[in-house]
Each structure stands twice: as structure tokens, then as C-alpha cells.
């Protein structure tokens, strides 16, 4: 397949006056995901972050049929919790290899963009087998009062000087404010919004890894929950969890020699709002930068939204999932409330039936808050046909990553 | 927790940050709070490009000249808000209403602000609000005048 130029991708992605796609070169088809692994996901567990990361890596390598000594690349997250370093890896596995290392991996948007960086590193022969891993112990940290997802936001100088005095912090308030506007502009209702946590909870109920698999969420129970920051109730806000996940990437030719069928990285996109990192300054309050990243990834993968069979959407809040589903063009902008309320996110509502199965593991709302990396793991399992809530005939998948001011898109497909 | 003022219950939510935060002398946002101390609403601007720079920056993003500040009238459009019902910020009494407003005479500028909860039933997106000034007090006892908004 010939490589697409940046100008072609840029043209396909389109232009907007409130943000833009970051130019990512075409790496479609070059690398594949060959192994996935996870720890158990829990509330406060006192587990060590690095130990969880190593456990997830062990599982991913076993899944791939790759020996620890064959790994020569490691990607982790910067700035979130205490992540693994190459020496930790060598010490644990008793190996001595050189390891190409990047802190631009992990979860959130980086669970998608790491695939682009990995493809570039593999192409440059800086590494050949790269593990992306993310571990988080925020449930334990919350119990100890030592760290929380809002810490970065509270430390940013202009947020602390112009937003915190008014109590616009932490993140639930940001997206509650945005969701309120969505309801005003498009008539989205509470009951429509409820379809997101309710559907994801249904998925969790039949997924062995989901922390909330035994807690049913009927509509009546949802509506009875008190508001946290209206229109968000508890069920609209992500869990706080302990756990880790990892996936292994290598060149697609090499992937075909691994233990499991390759899941090919077909496209990657990344978008950012004007005015980043201040989402209070976002000029389009009812949308997300997924608006910019998804078309870029679709163009790289040579697909349209109609070709996608299953998605994993960063659902830190129900409203951010709703807006990203719109921004990925699975329905008209503003029609998301009606669309999700019709049950279209359920794993049995395949594309043939007019749906788009979403967060079939339960998502950040009902599976675990590992910041999106388990969304990618779940999509790999879907494309291998081994998911707990298997989408029939799934061949193309997309992950929507999100930080707030940035979003990313990872298109995966079965090997041809 | 120390006693809260009866009228306004707007307090810093992150005590750990307090020693580093002096609003009046904040490197970038100081003029906003200095103006508020005189019951003025001011925003950062570039007089050369006649362009508002918000959030404030030391230099204009277009011409790189040093920015200055200009007073604005105080009428603003309510873009959106949320009624916070759970004490996510332990030093702020609930319910409270943070909001984002766009000054009518500074289109494109978005201010994070505060609306008194007594107006919660009156709020509609895009309604016009009027600035008002009132004291906020931090958990370490410092007091500042802060722009807030009420229905016009």
C-alpha cells in the first residue's frame, strides 16, 4: 500500500476554527498488536504500581508468545503515578538488553498515539518489540489522601488563579458545564444521557474483569441518584481504580509469526483545541477534539465511520463519551442523545442493526479507571473474536482517547 | 474548618496551594485581581493588534509586543454552568454554581466565574448577566474582591 502524504491526510481531516489535528505521518498497516495483558482491577488494594505494571507485561508477553528478553522497547506515561523504567524491567525479568524508552505512552490519548511513536521507532530500527504499559493506584492513593486525578489541574498556574477561586475544579465540573450546554443546544435529556452508564453497566455485568459486574443499574436507580454536579450523577462519573494493562507491538510481518493473530494498527489521529490546556477557553463547548483526530485516523486507515464495527471511547464522564461518539461521526452532531437512548451502544446492536457497540467491557464508568488502556485491550480481544461480550463479525475497531484539551483515535483491524 | 462568612462561601479548594498563591501579585493574572479590588472587570489585551489575549499572556500571540489590560463593561452572556451538589472541593459549601460567561464587549473571551445559588432556578444558557463584586476569603484568611455575575 502506498503511503499517504500529510497534505492528503490533512485535506481529508478538514479544518476547524477551534482546534486542529496534529500532523501524524501515515503508518497504517506497518505495525500490529500481538499481545495484551491485564491485572485484576479493584478499588483500594495497596498494590505497588510498578508490580502491577510488571504483572500486566508478563501476561501480555505470554499472550504474544514473546520472551521477556526479546522486548527492546518500553513506553509508559509521564506524570501520572509511578511508572515503570527500563531497569525495573530488566531487574524483574533478569535480562540485560538495551531498551528503547519513551514516556509518551501509557493511557488516555497516549494509548493511541503510542502506536504511531512505536511504528516510527520500529521503522527507524530503534526497537523491534515495544511494550506499552500503564498502571495506576489512584484507588489506594485516594484512600491515603496522597494523590488524585485533579492534582495536575490544581497545580497549573492560570487554572489556580482564574478557575480554582471560583471552584471550577476538579474535572466533573468541567464536563458537567459542557453537558449542560449540550442539553441547551440540542435538547439532550437526562434519560438519554443515562443510556450511556446503563449500557456500559450492562456490558460490565457479563464481563469477568469489570469491577462493577455485580451492580445492576436500572433507569429508576440512575434517576434516583443525587446530582454531583448537574447534570452528572455518580453513575455519570468514572470509577477510581487500581490496576494495570499492557500491550505488545511489533512490525506486522513479524506479528504474523507470533502466537496470536495480529491486530493491525490501521490509523492514528491526534487533535488539540485552540487555547490548550485551558478547556474553559474551548470555543465549542458541546464538542471534543475528537472532531479533529478521528477524521485523520480514518483517512490514514482508508475507512469511513460506517466501516467500524466496535469502539472504545474514553468515558471519564457519560457526557464526554456522548460528545465523542458524535464527533466520531456515528450520528449527526447533537443527535447523540437520541442515538444512544435507542440502545445503539449495546454489544448486540451491531452495525447491521444500526448500532455501534461501545465500551463492551464496561468502560471507565463500570469496568475500571485505567485511563483507557483497557479499552484498547478490549478492542484487541474483540478483533480476535475472544471478547466476553463479543460483537459478531467485528473486523474494524476504533479507540477514542481523551485528556480534555486533546483527543486521539486509534483504528485497529483484523489482519487481511 | 474555620467559620465561613455568612453571605459568600467562596473559598479556595486546595489548601496545599495557598502559600504559593498570591492573587494580586500573580505573574499573569495579577491585574485581573487588582482591577477587581477596585470593582473593575479587566482583561488582557494587545493594544497594537486590538486583540484580547485570554487567558492572559505576557506577550501578544500575534505581534509579540508586551500586552496590557483593558476594562470591560460587565455585561456577559451565560455560556453554561453547573450546580455543584457534592462537596468535591472540601472548602466550598454546596450547592454552588461555577459558570463560563462571554463578555458582550469582549467576544471570544471566556471567563470562569461564579453565580450565587439563589439564582439557580433563573439560569438559562445565553441569558445576559451583569457583573457584581464581592469578597472571597481563602482558607488561610486572605480576602479578595472577586467579580461574580447575577442575572441582568
Question: What digits encode the pLDDT tens for the residues A133-173?
Answer: 999 999 998 888 877 777 777 778 899 899 988 989 889 99
pLDDT value, residue A122:
98
Place of cell 461480550: A389
- Chains A, B: CB contacts within 8 A come to 118
End-to-end Cα, chain B, rounded Å: 34
Dihedral-angle region of residue B47 (phi above 0 means left; psi in -120 to 50 means alpha; beta otherwise): alpha
Measured distance CA(B42)–CA(A281) in Å, rounded: 17
Per-residue model confidence (pLDDT) at position B8: 38
A133 grid coordinates: 504499559
pLDDT in tens, B57-87: 999 999 999 999 999 999 999 999 999 999 8
Find, in chain A, the residue whose alpha carbon is nearest to that of B78: A181
ipTM reported for the complex, 2 dp: 0.93
Please give the distance of CA B58 from its chain centroid, rounded to a whole number: 19
User: What is the least distance, in Å, from the CA of A273 to any CA of chain B?
Assistant: 14
B90 vs A158, more confident: A158
Which tens digits make up the pLDDT trace of A17-40?
Answer: 999 999 999 999 999 999 999 999
- Determine contact, residues A275/A174, Cβ cutoff 8 Å: no
Per residue in A374-387, pLDDT (tens digit) is 999 999 999 999 99
Is residue B7 very low, low, confident or very high in pLDDT (cuts 50, 70, 90)?
Answer: very low
Tens-digit pLDDT profile for residues A289-329: 999 999 999 999 999 999 999 999 999 999 999 999 999 99
Which residues make beta-bridge pairs with A71?
Answer: none
The Cα–Cα gap between A280 and A174 comes to 8
The answer to whether A173 contacts B82, with C-beta atoms less than 8 Å apart, is yes
Of A154, A180, A232, the CB nearest to B17: A154
The model's pLDDT over A79-128, given as tens digits with 9 standing for 90+, comes to: 787 899 999 999 999 999 999 999 999 999 999 999 999 999 999 999 99
Cβ pair A180, B105 in contact under 8 A:
no
Three-class SS of chain A: CCCCCHHHHHHHHCCCCCEEECCCCCCCCCEEEEEEEECCCECCCCCCHHHHHHHHHHHHHHHHCCCHHHCCEEECECCCCCCCCHHHHHHHHCCCCCCEEECECCCCCHHHHHHHHHHHHHHCCCCCEEEEEEEEEHHHHHHHCCCCCCHHHHHCHHHHHHCHHHCCCCHHHHHHHHHHHHHHHHCCCHHHHHHHHHHHHHHHHCCCCCCCCCCCCCHHHHHHCCEEECCEEHHHECCCCEEEEEEEEEEHHHHCCCCCCCEEEEEEEEEEECCCCCHHHCCCCCCCCHHHHHHHHHHHHCCCHHHCCEEEECCCEHHHHHHHHHHCCCCCCCCHHHHHHCCCCCCCCCHHHCCCCECCCCHHHHCCCCCCHHHHHHHHHHHHCCCCCCCCCCCEEEEEEECCCEEEEEEEEECC
- Whether the per-residue pLDDT at B16 is higher than 60: the answer is no
Q: Mean pLDDT over all residues of chain A? A: 96
How far is Cα A187 from Cα A172, in angstroms, rounded to an integer? 21
- Distance from C-alpha of A195 to C-alpha of A39, rounded to nearest angstrom: 29
Q: What is the DSSP letter of B28?
A: T
pLDDT at position A1 is 62
Q: What is the nearest CA distance from A122 to chain B, expressed in angstroms?
A: 37
Which residue in the set A154, A181, A229 is minimally distant from B85, CB to CB?
A229
The residue of chain A with its CA nearest to that of B30 is A161
> To the nearest whole percent, how much of chain A has pLDDT over 70?
100
Torsion of CA A150, B131, B4, B144, to 10 degrees: 80
How does residue B21 score in pLDDT terms, banded at 50, 70 and 90?
Answer: confident
| Nearest residue of B to residue A171, measured between CA atoms | B88
| Distance (Å, whole) CA A345 – CA A337 | 11
More confident site: A416 or A404 = A404
- Per residue in A250-263, pLDDT (tens digit) is 999 999 999 999 99
User: Which residues in chain B have Cβ-Cβ distances shorter than 8 Å to A154?
Assistant: 13-14, 16-17
pLDDT bucket at B20, cuts 50 / 70 / 90: low
Confidence of residue A357 (pLDDT cuts 50, 70, 90): very high
- Using the beta-carbon criterion (under 8 Å), do B23 and A165 form an inter-chain contact? yes
Looking at residues A64-80, what average pLDDT do you find?
95
**pLDDT over threshold 50, residue B15:** no
Amino acid at each position: 500500500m502506498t503511503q499517504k502524504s500529510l497534505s492528503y491526510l490533512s485535506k481529508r481531516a478538514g479544518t476547524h476554527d477551534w482546534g486542529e489535528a496534529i500532523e501524524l505521518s501515515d503508518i497504517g498497516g506497518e505495525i500490529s498488536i500481538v499481545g495484551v495483558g491485564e491485572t485484576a482491577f479493584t478499588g483500594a488494594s495497596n498494590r505497588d504500581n510498578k508490580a502491577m505494571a510488571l504483572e500486566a507485561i508478563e501476561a501480555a508477553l505470554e499472550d504474544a508468545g514473546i520472551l521477556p528478553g526479546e522486548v527492546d522497547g518500553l513506553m509508559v506515561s509521564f506524570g501520572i503515578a509511578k511508572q515503570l523504567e527500563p531497569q525495573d524491567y530488566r531487574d524483574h525479568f533478569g535480562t540485560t538488553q538495551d531498551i528503547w524508552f519513551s514516556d509518551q505512552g501509557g493511557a488516555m490519548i497516549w494509548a493511541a498515539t503510542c502506536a504511531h511513536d512505536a511504528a516510527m521507532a520500529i521503522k527507524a530500527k530503534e526497537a523491534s518489540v515495544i511494550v506499552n504499559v500503564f498502571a495506576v493506584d489512584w484507588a489506594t492513593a485516594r484512600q491515603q489522601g496522597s494523590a488524585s486525578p485533579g492534582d495536575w489541574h490544581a497545580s497549573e498556574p492560570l487554572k489556580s488563579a482564574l478557575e480554582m477561586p471560583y471552584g471550577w475544579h476538579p474535572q466533573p465540573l468541567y464536563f458537567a458545564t459542557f453537558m449542560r450546554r449540550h442539553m441547551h443546544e440540542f435538547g439532550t435529556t437526562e434519560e438519554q444521557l443515562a443510556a450511556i452508564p446503563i449500557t456500559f453497566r450492562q456490558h460490565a455485568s457479563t464481563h469477568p474483569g469489570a469491577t462493577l459486574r455485580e451492580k445492576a443499574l436500572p433507569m429508576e436507580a440512575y434517576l434516583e441518584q443525587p446530582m454531583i454536579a448537574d447534570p452528572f450523577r455518580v453513575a455519570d462519573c468514572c470509577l477510581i481504580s487500581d490496576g494495570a494493562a499492557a500491550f505488545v507491538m511489533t512490525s506486522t510481518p513479524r506479528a504474523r509469526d507470533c502466537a496470536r493473530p495480529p491486530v493491525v494498527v490501521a490509523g492514528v489521529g491526534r487533535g488539540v483545541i485552540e487555547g490548550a490546556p485551558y478547556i474553559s477557553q474551548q470555543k465549542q463547548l458541546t464538542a471534543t477534539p475528537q472532531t479533529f483526530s478521528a477524521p485523520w485516523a480514518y483517512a490514514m486507515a482508508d475507512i469511513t465511520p460506517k466501516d467500524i464495527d466496535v469502539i472504545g471511547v474514553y468515558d471519564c464522564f457519560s457526557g464526554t463519551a456522548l460528545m465523542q461518539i458524535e464527533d466520531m461521526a456515528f450520528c449527526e452532531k447533537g443527535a447523540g442523545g437520541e442515538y444512544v437512548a435507542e440502545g445503539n451502544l449495546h454489544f448486540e446492536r451491531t452495525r447491521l442493526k444500526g448500532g455501534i457497540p461501545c465500551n463492551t467491557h464496561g468502560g471507565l464508568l463500570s469496568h475500571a479507571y485505567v485511563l483507557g488502556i483497557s479499552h484498547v485491550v478490549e478492542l484487541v480481544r474483540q478483533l480476535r473474536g475472544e471478547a466476553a461480550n463479543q460483537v459478531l463479525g467485528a473486523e474494524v475497531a476504533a479507540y477514542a482517547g481523551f485528556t480534555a484539551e486533546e483527543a486521539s483515535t486509534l483504528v485497529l483491524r483484523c489482519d487481511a | 474548618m474555620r467559620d465561613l462568612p455568612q453571605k459568600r462561601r467562596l473559598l479556595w479548594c486546595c489548601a496545599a496551594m495557598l502559600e504559593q498563591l498570591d492573587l494580586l501579585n500573580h505573574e499573569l493574572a495579577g491585574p485581573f485581581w487588582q482591577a477587581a479590588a477596585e470593582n473593575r472587570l479587566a482583561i488582557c489585551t494587545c493594544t497594537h493588534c486590538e486583540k484580547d489575549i485570554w487567558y492572559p499572556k505576557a506577550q501578544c500571540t500575534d505581534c509579540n509586543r508586551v500586552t496590557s489590560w483593558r476594562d470591560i463593561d460587565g455585561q456577559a452572556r451565560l455560556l453554561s454552568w453547573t450546580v455543584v451538589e457534592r462537596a468535591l472541593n472540601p472548602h466550598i459549601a454546596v450547592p454552588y454554581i461555577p459558570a463560563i460567561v462571554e463578555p458582550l464587549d469582549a467576544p471570544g473571551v471566556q471567563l470562569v466565574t461564579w453565580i450565587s445559588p439563589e439564582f439557580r432556578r433563573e439560569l438559562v444558557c445565553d441569558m445576559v448577566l451583569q457583573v457584581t463584586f464581592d469578597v472571597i476569603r481563602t482558607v488561610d484568611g486572605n480576602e479578595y474582591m472577586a467579580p461574580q455575575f447575577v442575572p441582568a
